[in-house]
Structure 1
Amino acid sequence: MAVFELKLEVSLAAAVAIEELLAEREEQRLMVLEDKPAARAWITGYFEARDEALEAWSALRADAGTIELPASEPEVRELPDADWKNSYKAHFKAWKFGKLNWVPVWEKETFALPAGEAVLWLDPGMAFGTGNHETTRLVVERMVSIAGQTGTAGRVIDAGCGSGILALSAVLLGYRDVAAFDNDAEAVRVSEENAVLNDLAGRVEFYVGDLVTGLAGRQAELVLANIQADVLMRFVNELCASVAPRGSLVLSGILSQELERVREVFAAVAAGWRVESRVMGEWADLTLTRSS
């Protein structure tokens, strides 16, 4: 069966806006790839027919509004089976923070793990995240810092686990009681596969749930939620209620221009909690810590 790859390089600013648009449209055929070290980004997708690829691009351009897309048309080319399965690999690189390393699985034979450090092997495939995005990095870096300050004796909940990167990283940090859920059963399946890939099967309780059912009856000393800002604000009560005394809630998926609004919404519910935030590129995190 022929596979056609659509690909067009865009600015990093456009990539951020396009990701938001694709999420709103629940678009499954197109995606944004980013190479942060090189400061480059692409719109890409894989289709069974050339016309199908061009139709998807036309629909995206029609919905783009004020997003500054290149004037040029995307390249659409037919790929041999082996090529399309491996074409995404060029966009993903190993990265680390503290003593944790996140490394594409195809580098397993060549990657030299420094003594005393841990590695999470990642296979993005066509739907699996690598953590290259700032939203994931903000949470990972915050989680590593919290573990260094308070230890890893507490419970962890990863709300909206996606590919399982955050939950499995928590295990590598030393957390023993880790739960993670997503409202997409496919995300939960991929997360479980990635646990197997890293010999961590059974170390995380992965399950299907939303921000109501997934958090019902649960609390943790560390709650992670890398989700869109509007969703975070809509479920502010559920998220804050899931944080155990003296625990922390780490939020990401927040555009920097949305940060103050998100802070206001959560501060109104979490009165008296310590609030911290950072900005990375065009994204921000927000961490709230209960005093009691």
Structure 2
Amino acid sequence: MAARARGARLARIEVRAGDAATTDRAVAEAWEAGVVGLEEREVAGGAWVLILYAPAAKGAAVRDALARALGGAAEVSQPAPEPDVDWSIAWRAGLEAIEVSPRLVVRPPFAKFDPKPGQACIVIEPGQAFGTGGHDSTRIALELLEGLGKERVDGARALDVGCGSGILALAALALGVRSAVGFDLDPLAARAAAANARANGREGQFQVFVGPLEAILGPPFDLVLVNLLRTELLPLADGLARVTRAGGTLIASGLLAIERAEVCARFAAAGLRVEGDRGSTDSRGDRWLGLVMRR
């Protein structure tokens, strides 16, 4: 859960989901809707309850946005006032650096870490934007990125689609990409990505804006990075092909393994062929998948 200052007024919203896949979708939608923290609790029968925290003034708007996004897939409660408790110290104590791969470490700014020789340490402030390195989909994308050959990374131009915290673009820069552009529909996410760029000394290499994929004009990119759910990814297939140069690379994560065939077929129709993949099973038994594609 994200920290809050003493005196902050929060609303509490509960989401009841019948399965893990719906829960993961609800988590992603919750961050998009503007929550500042959440808890996940497993209940009987494989169902899950999400406890969401939003600024009190935005509680009703967040609840309505979630209800629209999830439709009938989950029950979303009305917002209720959350007692004003200062738990920021305990929250920060629970967050540590994450070694996502031999060459990449992600840490919050308040966590100390001494990187090993050859390791790049990326500073990400946990907050309202998705992407701190803890979720399987983010880790898969980072591992696929690191697995690319130097000839596909060094000096490349990268695009981070739906950038969230900017973690994928910042990792690409740490691994040798020359410059990166990131965008998100959520102004809070774009603001967080820009702040993380400054925290990593990359503000001169990482341009962030608020807007859709259609706003990307000019020459296509050598490397395109995207970590989105299938329902968000598939409508972008043609646009993602457009912004990936001929011979360029697209890394797509955020998928479930059972969605592989559908996603591969859609991107093949857009002119992108799958070269490799990587999977990971989370604590609930869901198998997440990331794909490396070439145009």
TM-score normalized by the length of structure 1? 0.76
Number of the residue aligned with 2:98: 95
Do the aligned partners of 2:36 and 2:54 also contact (CA within 8 Å) in 1? no
Q: Judging changes above 3 Å, is the alpha-carbon distance between structure 1 residues 151 and 210 closer, same or farther for their aligned structure 2 residues?
A: closer
Match of 1:104 in 2: 108
Cα distance in structure 1, aligned partners of 2:168 and 2:240:
17
Answer whether contact 1:19 1:31 (CA < 8 A) is retained. no
What amino acid is the match of 2:114? A
Instruction: Deviation per CA, 1:179-234: give whole Å up to 9, x if none.
Output: 111122222111111111122222212122212113x3231111111122122211
- Aligned-partner residue type, residue 263 of structure 1: C
Distance in 2, matches of 1:86 and 1:7, equals 23
SS of the aligned residue for 1:107 comes to: coil
Cα distance in 1 for residues equivalent to 2:55 and 2:222: 46
8 Å contact kept, 1:2–1:78: no
Superposed CA offset, 1:24-49 (max 9, x none): 686434865579xxxxx973333567
SS of equivalent residue, structure 1 residue 276: strand
Name 1:251's counterpart in structure 2: 252
User: In the alignment, which residue of structure 2 is the partner of 1:38?
Assistant: none
One-letter amino acid matched to 1:262: V
Residue 65 (structure 1) shift: 5.7
Correspondence list, 1:1-292, <5 A: 1=7, 3=9, 6=12, 14=19, 16-21=21-26, 27-29=33-35, 32=38, 43-46=50-53, 78-80=83-85, 82-83=86-87, 85-86=88-89, 88-89=91-92, 92-96=95-99, 97-108=101-112, 111-127=113-129, 129-148=131-150, 150-214=152-216, 216-270=217-271, 273-281=273-281, 282=286, 283-290=288-295
After superposition, give the CA deviation of every residue in 1:140-172 in whole Å (9 maximum; x if it has no partner): 111111144644122111111111111111111
Q: Is the deviation greater in 141-150 or in 15-24?
A: 15-24
Give, in whole Å, the separation in 2 of the partners of 1:24 and 1:200. 28
| Contact kept? 1:33, 1:91, Cα under 8 Å | no
The count of corresponding residues between Structure 1 and Structure 2 is 267
CA-atom RMSD, angstroms? 3.6
Following TM superposition, by how much is the alpha carbon of 1:173 offset from its aligned partner in structure 2, in angstroms? 0.8
Contact 2:251–2:290, Cα closer than 8 Å, also in 1: yes
Cα distance change, pair 126–228 in 1 and its aligned pair in 2 (3 A) = closer
Q: Partner amino acid for 2:203?
A: A
TM-score under structure 2 normalisation? 0.75
Secondary structure of 1:101's partner?
strand
Q: Which stretch shows the higher mean deviation, 224-233 or 259-268?
A: 224-233
Counterpart-to-counterpart distance in 2, 1:225 and 1:259? 15
Gaps of 5+ in 2: 1-6, 42-47
- SS of aligned partner of 2:133: coil
Q: Structure 2 counterpart of 1:100, which letter? A: L
What secondary structure, in the 3-state scheme, does the structure 1 residue paired with 2:148 have?
A: helix
Structure 1 residue runs of 5 or longer lacking an equivalent are 36-40, 70-74
d(CA) in 2 for partners of 1:34, 1:167:
28
Whole-Å separation in 2 of the counterparts to 1:226 and 1:17: 17
In structure 1, how many angstroms separate the alpha carbons of the residues matched to 2:192 and 2:158? 19
Give how far 1:274 is off.
Answer: 4.3
